[in-house]
Amino acid sequence: MDDKIKEWIDRYVNAHSFVVRRINARIREELGETLTDDQYQIMLLINDIPQCTPSQLAEMFSVGKSSITAIVNRLVQAEMVERTRDEADRRIIYLSITDHGRSIFDSCRKQIRELISPYLQHFEEEEIESFISNFEKLGQLMQEGGRKN
């Protein structure tokens, strides 16, 4: 690995760590006791994935199923998420957001968008699109195991 790549990696790790810590701290301030960051991320994925299962969440978060189960249990107890068994295979459980959960999720999403929006105003539209596209590409490569031969 050459020095330029090492420098890019160090810059990425430093910037990513700083941004994530700051955004998560601000999100915690905004959301208060409504949802934790993990709960919000779980609800975001349940919202985006039709017929989402706990196994899918565990895989996407790269954690054990027991970790996901603990978070989902709290969301179910708070009546924000519900479990539904597959009609054909009762072992499969699907997760969905309840009406109560939808209200909370939509409110949190709005607060997060309002929190991040002022920062985006410092960039041109092309810069934002390029950054997000490249970050999504990085995520896709990681999901695929993305080592270049």
What domains lie within the chain, and their CATH numbers? 34-142 (1.10.10.10)
- What pLDDT does 38 receive? 87
pTM of the model: 0.79
Tally of CB atoms within 10 A around 76: 16
For 81-101, write each residue's pLDDT tens digit.
999 998 888 889 999 999 999
| Contact predicate 105/43, CB 8 Å | yes
DSSP state of 97: E
Report how far residue 133's alpha carbon sits from residue 99's, in angstroms, rounded to the nearest whole number: 32
| Contact predicate 116/23, CB 8 Å | yes
Percent of the chain past pLDDT 70, that is, above it, reads 97
Residue 102's identity, in one-letter code, is: R
